[in-house]
Every structure is written in structure tokens, then in C-alpha cells.
Amino acid sequence: MSEPYMSTLGKRHNSTTTMAPRLVVHSAPLPLRNAQTRSRSRTRHRHPLRSAYDKQVMVVAVMLLTAGLACLSAAYYILTGVLAFDSSSAPHPMIIAPSDAMSDLRLPSTVPQPASSRILSHSANASAEKYLAYLPHSGFHNQRIALENALVLARILNRTLLLPSVRLGDPLSYAPFDELYAMAGNTSKAGLEFCRDLGSYNGDIPLECEGYLSYTHLPWDWLVDVSGIRSNQRVLEGWDFTDAWLEDHLGISVGDIFYLKDTSRNEYSFQDFFSFDPPVRKFEQSVYIATLARQSERMILMGTLFGSSRLHFRSAVNYDMRKHVRERMAFTNPHLVHAADGIRSALGGSYLGVHLRIGDGIFEWNAPENVRLAWWKLLRLVLGFTDDDILALEQDIFPEEAEPEPPVINPDLPAMRTPHPPLPPFPLDATPSPEFSCRAAPHISSKLAPLNMPLFISTDARSPTFNPLLARFTRTFPCSFFLEDFPEQVASLGKLHSPIDGVPLGSFLLPFLDAMVVGQAWQVVGTEQSTFSAFVSDVLWRTYRGFDIVQRG
């Protein structure tokens, strides 16, 4: 039997980890290899134990039997959930073991009433309230996935979630728990309100204002409609990632916080079933949610919760709850909706879409392969061209880039498990509005007529019109467009400012507007391994059409 999975759980200010002894469960003692078989009636009085060897064998057998019984007792002790842990003592591992009372954990039979969404001062009535908090990091979509996981965990654990604001712009990179906690606590712009006017400041920028405009914070409900989530889940906004705030507003001291501290981004996953088997996914340890639910501390504070597969569910109730949360992540801000609708109308209402992330990191490194793969998917999977036709077209338009074989296009199994109804036929006469002309003359060949469809290309590439990689699309689809082709519709976003720190929002909102436009396409193709592209195709595109979203993880 493999060793039970244990978590390095404990107090924030003590990083020492004490490992529990290995649990080894033996079967019944093995038979003695050299034992002789004789008739009981003949040997009972004629063959007593006559040698030291026989005595030693008997002693070993008794010891093995005793050890086996002790191990079985220890296993029963663990499996019945008797091993509770006292968080007031020195940190020690939490053994991921089931509890009879909570082995089939489900949602509460009655939905708790949501708490206020704003800052609450601590009062006697709130002294029994229990909370869950986590540390967000990285870009918007990593924060979104972490929020989805946090909302689901908080609901299952019946705890109020401390809802962080969303950070746009320069990201807060992942770090192990203690380091990330310290960094998050230093991102507040409180007391720096005068820095918001730096745009019109002609002198030297004060040292404390450096970087003020490079990022901003927004409430989540500024971007998405979380009212449906609030009706089922208590949330509280305003935490600034400091212990002092918890003490002042909630009356929670460090001694009443249970810390689940990670040292790597893939350390912990969470599952609603008990298993001694190692995690089948990329995570190092699996935390049994029912065990976590037995924590008596008023606060459970975790590190990262990013990862679409971090929550592993077998309960249909929990699985559906995660789906409900993910469906609410579609952008609903009226300014964004108005701008996206304007661009959609300018495109003629019917168009194809491709979402290409090629501007940074590994996506920039893999850009040539990803652009070709997306191009092939669009022609083969969406427009129905054969491989021979696509290879011939590739050789004709891009002879210097043509390869002898098609790229490998793996089946999208999660999407296949959530099929959607057939789409209405694409109108072959679809054209953009008269004031938006195509980039080139249309294809004359009837065989290439589908390539005359309007195409909207959503991308993070700088100056996409002049990007040589994107020429693969603009030369194939003469009626292709980028967000930069619609300055009038985009201009309204430049007037918006963050309600939290006053930072101009225009540049931070463009990726969301880009995604909303491509998400309303007749069909859309994304970039491999991009969480942003997955969000567009799995959530936005399906939500806009009234289809079930795709759940990955």
C-alpha cells in the first residue's frame, strides 16, 4: 500500500514540517516455510518444542501477528477519521483521510444567506462567521480560474469567501505562499491618490508614484455579473492581504487562521472523494475536501488556486456547481457590451473568428507553429477543406513556408464530451458594412469562395496589420479585420477609469473587447495551450449562443 498523502499544513509563521511515520499495513503472517506437517494425535505428546530454532520461530510468528494487528488497528484509526489535528499546536501534517460523517459531502440542504459584498466591521453577530481566502496572481485568466475554484470550495466548505479585486496590467507573479502573501500586502495604493493625476504632471515623478499607472484593480462585478453567484455564496470584499485587516474588520487573529501553504504552484489539488492512490494529474498532493471541512478555525487561508484541473470532482452536484460558476464569468460590463455590439454590426453580423496569442512568453516562441495550426484548423475543421486542398493552397500562397505534411490536429475531447446543436448555415453572401472595405479583392474561384467570408482576428500581437506571421490569414482571407480597424467603436473605452484607484482603463480593456468580438463569431478557432483562447471557445462563444459550456479539469 502506498503512503497516505499528507499536506504541509500549519501556521503561517512556522515553516517547519513534521512528517508522520509511514503507515505499513501487513496482511496475515506468512506461513513458516520449514514447518513439518504431522498427525496431531501422534505429535502432541511425543514431539514438544525441542530446539532453540523452534522457539525463535514461534517468537517471530507472535511478533508478526502482533505487528499486523497493530497496523490494522492504526489503519482503522485513520480511516474512521479519529485523527483530527490541533492547529493550536506546532504545525504537523494533515493526513488526507475520510470521516464517516462527511464521506459524502454535498452542498448544505439550505442555501446560506449571502453576506454583504462590501467591507464589514467586526461585530458580535459576525464572531461565528467562518471564512476562506486565497492569494491571486498572474494575468487575468489565471485570476479568473483561481476565483472559480475559490467560489466552489467556499460553497462546499460553507464559508464566506474573501473576494479579492481583479488586477489588470503588470501582473503579480506566482511565488511560494509566504513570499506571495508579502507581495500581495504591498500592492495597495492607499494614500497614493495624488498619483492618479500623473498624466498631466510635467515634473519628475515622485518615487512612490513609480508604477502607479502600470496596473490597476477592479471589482469583479465591474466586469462580470456575479449577482447569481452572490445569491448562493457569501462573499466579502475589501481585504488588503494583511493580518491587521483581518483583526480590525473581522476580529480574526493569527492564532485563529489555518494556513495551507504551498511551496510550488502545483503542490495541492482538492478532491471530493477519498483515495490512497497518488494524484493522477500534475499535482503533488491531493487534499480531501471533507477533511478540510472539519477545520474549526475561523479562517482557512490558501496560496494559489489557479488551475482548471485543481478541483477533482466525482459528485455530480459539485461538478454542476462549478459549471454554474464558470458560466457567470462571461463579460457583462455595459461599456464593453456596447463596443462589442458596434464592431459586430460593422462586420456584418456573420463572420469567422480566430483567437491568436503570440505576443509573449512561450506563445511568442511557438508563434509560427501555432499560427499555422490555427490556420489549418480554420480551413479543415470549420470550412471543410480537404488536406490535399489545403496543402495545395499553402503551396500556392506561401511557397516559402509550405511543408510537405499537415500539422497534427488532436481531437478536442472535452469539447466532444459537451456537444452543441448544429449551427445554422453560414450565409455565403455575408459582407461587412459598406464603410468597412476588405483588404484585397475576393477569390474568383468558386472552390475558394468560403475564404471570402469576413474574418475577425483577435490577437495580442503589436501592429497586427504588419505582423508577417498574421499575413497567413490576411492573404488567405481578403476580408479580414483586427480590433485596430474599429477606432470609433473602441474610443469610448478610453474615457473609463478604475473606481478603485482612478487609473485609466482603456488599454487594459482592449483584450476583453477583442475576446467578446471574436466570441460572437459564427465559429472560432483558438491557440493551443492558451487559457485565454480556451475561455473564448469554451465559455464566451458557447454562452453567447446559449450552449452548455465546456468544462476542462
Provide the pLDDT for residue 126: 61
Long-range contacts (CB closer than 8 Å, 24 or more residues apart) made by 249-256: 249/119, 249/120, 249/121, 249/122, 250/120, 250/122, 250/126, 250/129, 250/131, 250/298, 250/299, 251/122, 251/126, 251/127, 252/131, 252/298, 252/299, 254/11, 254/12, 254/13, 255/88, 256/297, 256/298, 256/299
Is 377 within 8 Å of 530 (Cβ atoms)?
A: no
- Cα separation, 354 vs 521, whole angstroms: 9
Q: What is the 3-state secondary structure (H, E, C) of 209-257?
A: HCCHHHEEEECHHHHECCHHHHCCCCEEECCCCCHHHHHHHHCCCHHHE
- pLDDT score at 151: 98
Cell (9 digits) for 66: 502482533
pLDDT tens digits along 296-339: 999 999 999 999 999 999 999 999 999 999 999 999 999 999 99
Which is higher by pLDDT, 118 or 270? Answer: 270
- Write down the mean pLDDT value for the chain: 82
- Burial (0-12, 13-18, 19+ Cβ within 10 Å), 179: middle
Q: Among 247, 234, 251, 300, which residue's Cα sits nearest to residue 127?
A: 251
**Continuous segment of H or E residues that includes residue 302:** strand 299-302
Confidence band (pLDDT; 50, 70, 90) for 63? Answer: confident
pLDDT of residue 196: 84
DSSP 8-state assignment for residue 331: B
- Residue 5: what pLDDT? 38
- Mean pLDDT in residue range 513-535: 96
- Percent of the chain at pLDDT > 70 equals 77
- For the record, the C-alpha cell of 220 comes out as 469583479
Number of neighbouring beta carbons within 10 Å of residue 316: 9
Local confidence band at 347 (pLDDT 50, 70, 90 cut-offs):
very high
Which 3 state secondary structure label does DSSP give 34?
coil
pLDDT confidence tier of residue 49, bands split at 50, 70 and 90: very low
| pLDDT value, residue 62 | 65
Mean pLDDT over 233-242 rounds to 96
- Which of 70-84, 99-113, 168-182, 417-431 shows the lowest per-residue confidence on average (mean pLDDT)? 99-113
How far is the CA of 252 from the CAs of 87, 184, 223, in angstroms?
Answer: 15, 19, 30
- For residue 402 the three cell numbers come to 509550405
Domain ranges in the chain?
94-190+210-327, 334-545
At residue 2 the predicted structure's pLDDT band, cuts being 50, 70 and 90, is very low
Model confidence pLDDT, tens digit, residues 185-222: 999 898 898 888 876 556 678 888 888 999 999 999 99
Average pLDDT over residues 37-58: 49
CB atoms within 10 A of CB 326: 24
The runs of H, that is alpha helices, within 95-240 are 140-157, 177-185, 220-223, 227-230
Higher pLDDT, 536 or 31: 536
pLDDT of residue 52: 60
Q: pLDDT for 442-487, tens place per residue? A: 999 999 999 999 999 999 999 999 999 999 999 999 999 999 999 9
445 burial level (CB within 10 Å; 0-12, 13-18, 19+): exposed
Q: In this model, does residue 9 exceed pLDDT 60? A: no
Q: How far apart are CA 259 and CA 91, in angstroms?
A: 10
CATH assignment of 94-190+210-327? 3.40.50
DSSP state of 436: S
- Could you please state the CATH topology (level 3) that the domain comprising 334-545 is classified under: Rossmann fold (3.40.50)
DSSP-assigned letter for residue 138: S
Q: Is the pLDDT of residue 521 over 80?
A: yes
**What is the arithmetic mean of pLDDT over 347-358?**
97
Residue 21 pLDDT exceeds 80:
no
Task: Inform me whether the pLDDT recorded for 411 exceeds 80.
Answer: yes
In this predicted structure, what is the pLDDT of residue 300?
98
Say if residue 16's pLDDT is above 70.
no
Q: Whole-angstrom Cα distance, residue 254 to residue 243?
A: 7
Q: What are phi and psi of 329, to 5 degrees?
A: -90, 0
Angstrom distance (rounded) from CA 406 to CA 400: 15
121 SS3 class: coil
Query: Residue 344: is its pLDDT beyond 90?
Result: yes
Task: Quote the cell numbers at residue 401.
Answer: 513556408
| pTM of model > 0.95 | no
| Amino acid at position 472, single letter | R
Task: Specify the pLDDT at position 207.
Answer: 87
Q: Is 456 in a helix, a strand, or coil? A: strand
Q: How many CA atoms lie within 13 A of 260 on its CB side?
A: 29
Average pLDDT estimate for 238-258:
96
Q: Grid coordinates representing 57? A: 520461530
